[in-house]
Structure formats: C-alpha cells, structure tokens
Structure 1
Amino acid sequence: MPEKRWSYKSVPNPQVVNDLAQSLNIDKALASMLVQRQITGFDEARDFFRPKLEHLHDPFLMADMEKAVERLIDAIDNGEKIMIYGDYDVDGTTAVALVYGFLSTFYANLEYYNPDRYEEGYGVSVQGIEWAAEQGVSLVICLDCGIKAQDKVALAKDKFNIDFIICDHHEPDETLPNAVAVLDPKRKDCLYPYKELTGNGVGFKLLQAYCSRSEISVEELYEFLDLCVVSIGSDIVPITGENRVLAYFGLKKLNENPRIGLKALKEVAGFTASMTIENVVFVLGPRINAAGRIKHAKAAVKLLLSNNYDEALEFAHEIQKHNIERRGHDSRITEEALAMIEGDEWLANTAKSTVLYREDWHKGVIGIVASRCIEKYYRPTIILTKSHEKAAGSARSVAGFDLYTAIEKCAGLLEQFGGHTHAAGMTIPIENINAFRLAFDEVVSKTITNEQLTPVITVDLKIKLGEISSKFYRIMNQMAPFGPENMQPVFVSENLTLKYAPRVMKEKHLRLELFEEETGAILTAIGFGMVEEHFERLNSTKYFNVAYQIDENNFNNKTTLQLMLKDIKY
C-alpha cells in the first residue's frame, strides 16, 4: 500500500464561520465543520442537529408515485395476490421485510421472493416470474432491482398478465421497463428533490404515499425505520438529506426498541453497546448479507419478519454460521488473489487495475475479496468466478474514480453489467476475460489520475490538542449519524511529541501518550495495526504530525477522551 495522502477540505469563508459560531454559541472549529457540510445559518443548523420526520419530502414528488399508489390500492381493494420481490443483499432483504412486514399488518394475500444468487443471479428472474404466476400473483412490487428488467417485465405482463411496480435506486437505461410505475429518483424525468435513497428507501416512500391515501397512520410505518437504517448503512449511501433523517430515527429505534429479528442478531453477534452507522456496517450488514452469499437470502427475510424471539434466535444462529463460513471463504480467496497479483509481473508492477479470474472461487464473497485487494493494491478491482458456464464478476473502485463508466466503455465484451460509480456487477463470456482485462486496464490507465491511485485521508481541520474538550466532543457527536458525505470528522495536529515511550498492545497495535508543548495538552492515542510501520520511527523521531478521530474510552466506570489514529507523518 503506498503512503497515504492527506487531503484537506477547503477552508470555509471566515466571516460565515464567525457568524455561525456566534449564532450557535459554539467554537470556530465546530462552526467550520458545519459550513464544510453546507450548513451556514441557524435554521439549517437546527434542522441538522435536530432532525424531524416532518422533514421527509412529499412522496408524490417522485415520478409515477400516483400511478403506483393507485395500483396498490386497487390490488388491495380487489383482494389480488401481491408479491414483494427484492434483491438478495442487505438493501433488498430489508426492503422486502419492510414492505411485506408493513402490508401484512392489514392485508394477508401476500407472498415474498428473493432470487437465488447462484441459480438466478441478480435482479428480476424468469424463475421468479414463473413462481409468481404459479401462486396466482397479479402484482409484483420489485425492490432494489428491476430498473433494467425491460424484457422480464414485458414477459410477466404479456405471458402471465402480471403488473410490476418498480422501486429501484440504480442508474436507469434510456428506456425504462414498461411497468405500471417505475419509482427511481435517478430517472432523468424525476423531479424528486433527494436522489440518494436506497432501494429500501424508495419502498418506504411508496408506503408513505400509500398511508397518505388510506386510513393508515404513517406512525405505523415509522415502526419499520430500524430496517431503513440497516439498508442505509449497509448500502454505503450518503448520510445526507432524507437519508440522514431516516438514519437518525432508524438508529433511535434500533437502539431503543428494535424488531425481534435485529435484537436476536445483535445478541448472537455479542453486541451490547449503542449502535452507530459503523456498527450497522460491520456487525449487522455482513451477517444479513451472509444468508444470500452462502445459502439463500430468504433466511435473512425470515429473521427480519420474525415475531417470536426464540425462533428469531434460531434464525440468527443459522445466519451467524453462514457468516463464519463466509469469513473462511473470504480469507482463503483473498490470499489466493493477492498471490496471483504478486506472481504476475505486469499485474504487480504495471497495471492500473486488477482483474482476476478463478473458476472455483465462491461467488458469494468476490465483492468482499475485491475490496480486500484494494486495501493492498489501491486501484479499481474486478474479481471473477465461474457461474453457469459464464464468468460472474464483482467490481469495486477507489475514491473519486467512476468505475461504472469505465466498465461501460468495455460493454462490447460483456454479456450484462450494472451498478454504481463505486461498485458494479457483471457477466462475461469466459473466453472474453483476457480481452476484457486488457481493455479495462487501457480505459483505467487513460482516465485515472495518480492522486486517485493513492489512498487518501480526508481531513476536516487542523486543530490543537488543547482545543479538544468534553464539550467539543459532545457537540461534534451531535453531527452523527456519520457516514458517506457526513463522515466522522478527521483532524490533524502538528508538532507533537511523546510523553512516554510508545507501548505495544497485542503485538500489532500502538498506544501513545501524545504531548503538545504549545498548549501542554496530553492525550492518549490508539493506532490499530501500526506497530510494524511506526514503532521504530516513533522511537527515533522527536516531532511528528498525526491524523485522527476523537473517541471515548470507557474503562472501570471512567470515561475519557482518546484519539483513534488514522496516520502519522514525520
């Protein structure tokens, strides 16, 4: 991994910072961070620090929402069988649990369906449509997929007279599926003011609109907000605007009164603290995902819909087993992938991208393996494995590089693909892999910058250690929930020295007592995995700069502030 680059956010206008600091009675460093987040006045700050569910947008601002709600009302009034169809990842499974769970509180003629990752692949499948027809389904609500399912939606209508309402958040093609309604804020003709909802979030908006047209209180829908926050955290979408409101109240529900399935999952994971977005990403998300990666996503939906705690614990233990198995695959395949890179002169030293294929790799973990490879070789990465006589691939990008556009330029070698700027999936004929590897690397080489090939730490502000206080931390923490586009702040402090010699914890972690001569401040700092890179240098260097986040340490009923190191420069 090359040396990290520290990228400082732009310094806000001092007058705007001063005015905001005075109106909020906070210090300038905190005011600067708010201005960096486009919060420049008292009212904006109030809404940011005190989100309200009334801040959610009118769902009827979304293109096709009127049609979607009319069709759903007709289906329920006429007793039609409705199928809730969702992707097999966290966003898809939580979306199915949200829509099915909410509708089932007052309507019984429902089914739900998640495709098999290995037998059916991503998105709307022919098998899913045929199964719906066998069950007598006449309306499918499709969640977190479907925006590119033109042929499948046409098949459902023409052959089986099944209507579709699509709730998706992926980039659409020029031509939309011929569904009753296509709800996707990323539609070019959609004037909805917030574009970054998850698939679950679009499903939530459909139900919000339904509540406003029916006799059902929207308060009943808010009981499902813990599912919304799990999708928001796990799908790595911006924690801004409407997502921030949903995440804020979703975390409140998750911590105070979570649904039984999530409570069981937290227990099985051994997690007892208050949950943050980061905990959702690293504790709940991987376990829910493991169901679809290792066996079938239906197990995750059953868990999320469970109303019996003992039953939920059984499901949670089953999912935990899948997660342990997933970790084993992840670890082994990552080792094999890194060995392939290291054993190939061109890949290791010349290429600006990584494209690897082995037919026996587990399809359920190749996306995770792509991310692991990026940790060591920081560049756009695609991991491929054999699936139904084709190669199925999962792609991950680096900060600032548009992966989707790069793949699109190689579309002639692919059978199908889809995704976002930072992550994508694809199917490719096995005989095209080498040609694709070269073509993709050529596109990446021409468009990626040296900066994008260097891991970056985005720094909010330079501050003195002496500025850090309990009040500073308390106000900063009210900027949570933290996540993309509202990340937990990173600070830099310069010209620090050590009060005592560095200590090693568990052979690879550093514990430092940082001393700032100018202010006399002393703070403990923890550097996970930093011993190999920094122990010797710290012993032989007097002054250095650190990039860090501020955290709390609770030990023996005593709470103190500590720094979590991101990097050290000498």
Structure 2
Amino acid sequence: MRWIIKPIPEKQQVIHLQEVLGVDAIIATLLVQRGINTFEEAKAFFRPSLEDLHDPYLMKDMDKAVARIEKAIINNENILVYGDYDVDGTTAVSLVASYLKTYYPQVATYIPDRYAEGYGVSYQGIDYAHDNDISLIIALDCGIKAIDKIAYAQEKGVDFIICDHHRPGKELPKAVAVLDPKREDCSYPYDELSGCGVGFKLIQAIGKNRNQTIEDFIPYLDLVATSIAADIVPITGENRVLAYHGLQLINSKPRIGIKVFTKALKKTKLSITDVVFQIAPRINAAGRIKHGNHAVSLLTELDYNTAVDFAVDIDNYNTERKALDKQITKEALDQIEANQEEDNFTTVVFKKDWHKGVIGIVASRLTETYYRPTLVFTQSGDKLAASARSVRGFDVYEALDKCSEHIEQFGGHKYAAGLTLLPEQYEAFKTKFEQVVRDNIDKKLLTPELVVDASLDLNQITPKFYRLLKQLGPFGPQNPNPVFISDNLQDTGHGKCVGEDQTHLRFTVKQQNSNQYVGIGFGLGDKLPIISNKNPFKAAYHLDENEWQGNVSLQLMVKDIK
C-alpha cells in the first residue's frame, strides 16, 4: 500500500477550532481537513439538522412529477412503483409505495427479474402495467437511459415518472418528468443522492403539497440511510443529514423489516458499517438469488411474525450467495493465473454459467486481489452481461464509454457499472478495454492507496477522544473513518494468525508507557514476521469498539503494517 499522509492544516485554523469548540488538536485537525473551519460549520456537522434539507421543488421536473401523481389520484388511476433489484432500488420502491399507500390504495410494486428481464426498465414490466390497467409508472433508481422503453410505454398509453441518480446519456427519455440531480439542466444544490434519496425528495415534495412537515417523513429515513450505506454514495451534504437521522431511527424505532435483522445482530448500537456489511447484503441477496420482490415484501411488512418468516428466507438466500461468491471467486482467480494475465492493466474474466447475481461481488473481490479495473462476465440469454468495478481515482464508466462500439448497453457510476454485449464482441471488447485503461490510467493508481489523517500516540486514545471521534460519523465516501498512524509499536508477544484460513492477524500492542490495545488486521496474516520478536513497527489503523459478552473495549482496526 502507498501511505498518503494528509497535509497538516494551517496551525491558526486548528488553534481557532480548538478554542471555540473546546476539543484537542487532533479532533480540530480532522475537522479542518474536512473543510470545517468555523463554530457554525462545526455545529452543522456535529448536529445535522433536517431543517438543512433542500426544497425538493428545486429539482428539475419535480412540479411536473407531483402534478401527474395528484392527477392520477384524482382520476382513480392505478399506479405502479417500479425499481431496480438491488438495495437502492428495493428500498426506494418500499419507500415511495408505502408512503403513497398511506392515503391512496391503488398502488402496486414491481421489481424486474434479474435473470429474465435484466437491469432497469423492461418491456415485460411495461406490458404488465398495460395488462393490469396501470397508466402511471414511477421508476426508481433506473430509467435515465431507457429511451426506447419509455417510447414503447407511450404507445401503450402508460406514462412514466423517472427518479434516477445515474449519469444521463446525451438524450433524456420522453417521460412526463425526469428527476435526476445529475441532469446538466438541473440546478438542484446536491447531486450525490442515492436512488432512494431521489425517491425521498419526491415524497417530500408530494407531502409539501399536502401541508406535511419534515417530521412526517422521519419514519422513512431508515430506508434512505440503508440505501446511502449500500450504494456507497458520498456521505456529505444532504446525504449526511439523511444518513445521520436514518441511523438514529435504525437504532431506536426502525420498520419491522429492518428490526428483524438488527435484533439478530445483538449490538447495542449499529454504525453505518454494520448497515453496509450486515443489513445491506441480506436485502441484496433476495434479488441476487431469488427475486427482489422478497426484499420489498420484507421492507413493507407490518406484521412482525410475517416479517420474521421473510427474513429467514432472505437469510437462506444470503447463505447461498456467500457460497456462490466463494466458489466463483476461486474459479476467476484460477482463470487469471492460467492465462498468465497478472501483468495486465485490467482484469476481464468470463464463464458462461457463473451466477449473474454474484458477479458484482466477485468483481469487487478480484479488484481487492489485483487492484486494477475489473470486469466479470457471464452468459445472460443470447448476450454476455458483466459487472465492472474500478480502483480509486479511475473512472470505469468513462473507460466503458470509449469502448462503446463493442457494447450493446451500459450504465452506472465512476467506480461501478454494468454492461451487456454480444458474444462475438467479447474478445474485441476485452482488447479495447485493456488498451483504453493502459493509455489513460495513472500507473500509481494500480497500487492501493491508504490515506492517513494524522499521527497518534496510543496514550492520546481516551474515552473522551473516542466519543468525539464517533461524532464525526456516519462515515463513508468523502467523510471516511479517520486513519491514524502510530510509530514505535511493539507486540506484547501474543501476535498470531487467526481465522478459518489463518489469513487475519491479531495482536496486543503498546508503546513505551502507554496502555495496551488489541489490534485486528483482516487479510494481514502475512505481516506476522514484521511484528514478531518484539520488533518495533508502525501501523495504520482506525479505532473501533469491540463488543463481546456485554463488555465494550476499544481496539485498533489495522489497515497496514510497516
């Protein structure tokens, strides 16, 4: 790993914050690094307020969207809430449908089948609407590129409202309203909302029209926070406010469908990391293994016992997903080694019977192993479908755009995308993608980067320090969990490899005259020789609480050792 130490901020700014906030130099430094320089900015950061949310009507086409929904209600039309099969899509559908049903019964939900229909708006979904006398579809977390499908819906007499957060193409679909803060002609102040976040702005706008206040929308924030965590969107601005209050709801009074999972975790307080690694994969597993409808059924269920039954099914899907993930990752790694592609700038692998529901996870695993832009392909009908993942600092969406002559369809973000192509284009695409990345990537991006916030002596770690540190959360992109380095560390002699396959490292560490702390380094088992024989070493880590049998202690979550 390349350790990148953040520049030390200007001393006067740090001293000023120390004085006005009554915090130590490390906390003040972390705040200045995050662009917080005044008491007012710090107050807004530490106490995110729902009053700071933007007026939803600042979003382009919001007035048209609300007017069309109100017209549908007046005319007794059937409404279909349609969304993608991942966490962002299923939470968005659950949010908009459950809100509309509080005052209008003629609302149905639709999640496309990952295997029969593929990503986004489908012809089957439009036919379903037409056959069931549905004249308005609200599409969430998808639709921004569905130009042909929206035209097909128009022919069938079905109107569309699109709520998306992916990058638009050169042309927008001819829907009644297109809500997407990434539209070039949209002046909405914040453009990093999740798909569920855009859905939240829609119900907020409908509510404003009906004289509801922001307090009426708090019960939906557990869904928004889950989508923000799962979709890895920046936790800044409006997302930070929504995630902060959504986490409070998850920890106090979540909807039944989330409560059945949080109860099983046996933790007194969940963090955004718990949502990312414990709740989101379970919700995702429904669409990966069976059908996204199962996730929507769970998240909208009002009876606890029924929700428990749904949750048991979803847990089983998640267990199956983990087994597939492990098997396919091994097969992909074997394929790379067999083809001697370790020196490539990209990883592109394909096997026709790989499970389409887990290729995105496998792409992430391969990126962790080889640290380069990665595509994992499988057969999907008469085409090949792939999930793409990138490395920090490289835009895989733009790279795919440069290969578009070989691609049937693609969409996504800077670091994650999906695409389909014809089988006969696979080899040509693979060659072109390697060339595009080779020509455009800064070579240093192919070595993992670890951004370090500050140096810390172990004796600076106190309960008060950790309490303040936690208040910098929720953590995520553009507001990461602070990484510290400590030098002249020494293992007390208990360092060992742990885990089923002995790939993790666990040790007890101290500095001269300091308290001892347990350090856990996932995937760092090969670093054991560095810390052995009481050799001095330095570690990069972030602080975390370990909760075991009712006891809570601070530990170092070690990212790297030198």
TM-score by length of 2: 0.97
Alignment CA distance shift 1:432-1:535 (3 Å): same
Alignment CA distance shift 1:529-1:561 (3 Å): closer
Hey, what's the Cα distance between the residues in 2 that align with 1:31 and 1:327?
A: 41
Give the 3-state SS of the residue equivalent to 1:111 in structure 2.
Answer: strand
User: Which amino acid letter does the alignment assign opposite residue 183 of structure 2?
Assistant: R
Hey, what's the Cα distance between the residues in 2 that align with 1:344 and 1:181?
A: 49
Give the 3-state SS of the residue equivalent to 1:405 in structure 2.
Answer: helix
Give the 3-state SS of the residue equivalent to 2:527 in structure 1.
Answer: helix
* 1:198 has 2:200 as partner: no
Q: Which residue of 2 aligns with 1:285?
A: 280
Q: Which residue of 2 aligns with 1:391?
A: 384
Hey, what's the Cα distance between the residues in 2 that align with 1:297 and 1:274?
A: 28
Q: Deviations over 1:137-172 (max 9, x none)?
A: 111111000100111111111x22211111000000
Hey, what's the Cα distance between the residues in 1 that align with 2:344 and 2:220?
A: 46
Q: Which runs of 5+ in 2 are unaligned?
A: none
Q: Among 490, 502, 506, which residue is 2:495 paired with?
A: 502
Hey, what's the Cα distance between the residues in 2 that align with 1:40 and 1:137?
A: 52
* 1:564 has 2:557 as partner: yes
Alignment CA distance shift 1:74-1:530 (3 Å): closer
Q: Which residue of 2 aligns with 1:422?
A: 415
Hey, what's the Cα distance between the residues in 1 that align with 2:111 and 2:127?
A: 13
Aligned residues: 560
User: Which amino acid letter does the alignment assign opposite residue 410 of structure 2?
Assistant: F
Q: Which residue of 2 aligns with 1:371?
A: 364
Q: Deviations over 1:37-89 (max 9, x none)?
A: 11110001001101111110111111111111111111112221111010111
User: Which amino acid letter does the alignment assign opposite residue 481 of structure 1?
Assistant: P
**Root mean square deviation, CA, Å:** 1.5
Q: Which runs of 5+ in 1 are unaligned?
A: none
* 1:222 has 2:218 as partner: yes
Alignment CA distance shift 1:337-1:197 (3 Å): same
Alignment CA distance shift 1:522-1:371 (3 Å): same
User: Which amino acid letter does the alignment assign opposite residue 20 of structure 2?
Assistant: S
Q: Which residue of 2 aligns with 1:166?
A: 162
Hey, what's the Cα distance between the residues in 2 that align with 1:501 and 1:318?
A: 41
| Structure 1 residue 8, shift from structure 2 partner | 1.6
* 1:54 has 2:51 as partner: yes
Hey, what's the Cα distance between the residues in 2 that align with 1:76 and 1:530?
A: 55
* 1:305 has 2:331 as partner: no
Hey, what's the Cα distance between the residues in 2 that align with 1:232 and 1:47?
A: 20
Alignment CA distance shift 1:478-1:430 (3 Å): same
Alignment CA distance shift 1:479-1:549 (3 Å): same
Give runs of aligned pairs for residues 44-83 of structure 1, distance below 5 A: 44-83=41-80
Give the 3-state SS of the residue equivalent to 1:521 in structure 2.
Answer: coil
User: Which amino acid letter does the alignment assign opposite residue 404 of structure 2?
Assistant: A
Hey, what's the Cα distance between the residues in 2 that align with 1:437 and 1:562?
A: 44
* 1:521 has 2:517 as partner: no
Moved more, 383-392 or 4-13: 4-13
Give runs of aligned pairs for residues 18-37 of structure 1, distance below 5 A: 18-37=15-34
Alpha carbons 1:513, 1:522 under 8 Å: kept = no
Hey, what's the Cα distance between the residues in 1 that align with 2:344 and 2:548?
A: 48
Alpha carbons 1:379, 1:397 under 8 Å: kept = yes
Alpha carbons 2:520, 2:555 under 8 Å: kept = no
* 1:433 has 2:430 as partner: no
Alignment CA distance shift 1:218-1:103 (3 Å): farther
| Structure 1 residue 288, shift from structure 2 partner | 0.8
Hey, what's the Cα distance between the residues in 1 that align with 2:503 and 2:531?
A: 14
| Structure 1 residue 561, shift from structure 2 partner | 2.4
* 1:354 has 2:347 as partner: yes
| Structure 1 residue 344, shift from structure 2 partner | 1.1
Alignment CA distance shift 1:550-1:83 (3 Å): same
Alignment CA distance shift 1:261-1:558 (3 Å): closer
Hey, what's the Cα distance between the residues in 1 that align with 2:462 and 2:160?
A: 55
Alignment CA distance shift 1:92-1:271 (3 Å): farther
Hey, what's the Cα distance between the residues in 2 that align with 1:412 and 1:418?
A: 15
Q: Deviations over 1:255-281 (max 9, x none)?
A: 1111111112334x5444421111111
| Structure 1 residue 557, shift from structure 2 partner | 5.1
Hey, what's the Cα distance between the residues in 2 that align with 1:447 and 1:355?
A: 17
Percent identity reads: 50
* 1:255 has 2:251 as partner: yes
Alpha carbons 1:508, 1:528 under 8 Å: kept = no
Give the 3-state SS of the residue equivalent to 1:226 in structure 2.
Answer: helix
Q: Which residue of 2 aligns with 1:155?
A: 152
User: Which amino acid letter does the alignment assign opposite residue 90 of structure 2?
Assistant: T
Q: Among 520, 531, 542, which residue is 1:549 paired with?
A: 542
* 1:124 has 2:115 as partner: no
| Structure 1 residue 532, shift from structure 2 partner | 3.5
Hey, what's the Cα distance between the residues in 1 that align with 2:82 and 2:542?
A: 40
Q: Among 97, 101, 118, which residue is 2:98 paired with?
A: 101
| Structure 1 residue 440, shift from structure 2 partner | 0.3
Hey, what's the Cα distance between the residues in 1 that align with 2:507 and 2:515?
A: 10
Q: Among 455, 459, 475, which residue is 2:452 paired with?
A: 459
Moved more, 7-16 or 380-389: 7-16
Moved more, 269-278 or 461-470: 269-278
Alpha carbons 1:169, 1:196 under 8 Å: kept = yes
| Structure 1 residue 215, shift from structure 2 partner | 4.0
User: Which amino acid letter does the alignment assign opposite residue 255 of structure 1?
Assistant: N
Give the 3-state SS of the residue equivalent to 1:249 in structure 2.
Answer: helix
Hey, what's the Cα distance between the residues in 2 that align with 1:218 and 1:568?
A: 47
Q: Which residue of 2 aligns with 1:487?
A: 480
Hey, what's the Cα distance between the residues in 2 that align with 1:555 and 1:137?
A: 52
Hey, what's the Cα distance between the residues in 2 that align with 1:534 and 1:82?
A: 57
Give the 3-state SS of the residue equivalent to 1:223 in structure 2.
Answer: helix
Hey, what's the Cα distance between the residues in 1 that align with 2:294 and 2:311?
A: 9
Hey, what's the Cα distance between the residues in 2 that align with 1:420 and 1:271?
A: 34
Q: Among 452, 465, 469, which residue is 1:472 paired with?
A: 465
Alpha carbons 1:525, 1:565 under 8 Å: kept = no
Q: Which residue of 1 aligns with 2:37?
A: 40
Alignment CA distance shift 1:340-1:406 (3 Å): same
Alpha carbons 2:542, 2:556 under 8 Å: kept = yes
Alignment CA distance shift 1:504-1:115 (3 Å): closer
Q: Which residue of 1 aligns with 2:311?
A: 316
Hey, what's the Cα distance between the residues in 2 that align with 1:151 and 1:87?
A: 18
Moved more, 64-73 or 43-52: 64-73
Q: Which residue of 2 aligns with 1:180?
A: 176
Q: Deviations over 1:316-370 (max 9, x none)?
A: 111111111111111110000000001112x12x210011111111101000000
User: Which amino acid letter does the alignment assign opposite residue 241 of structure 2?
Assistant: V
Q: Among 526, 545, 549, which residue is 1:533 paired with?
A: 526
| Structure 1 residue 397, shift from structure 2 partner | 0.4
Alignment CA distance shift 1:368-1:554 (3 Å): closer
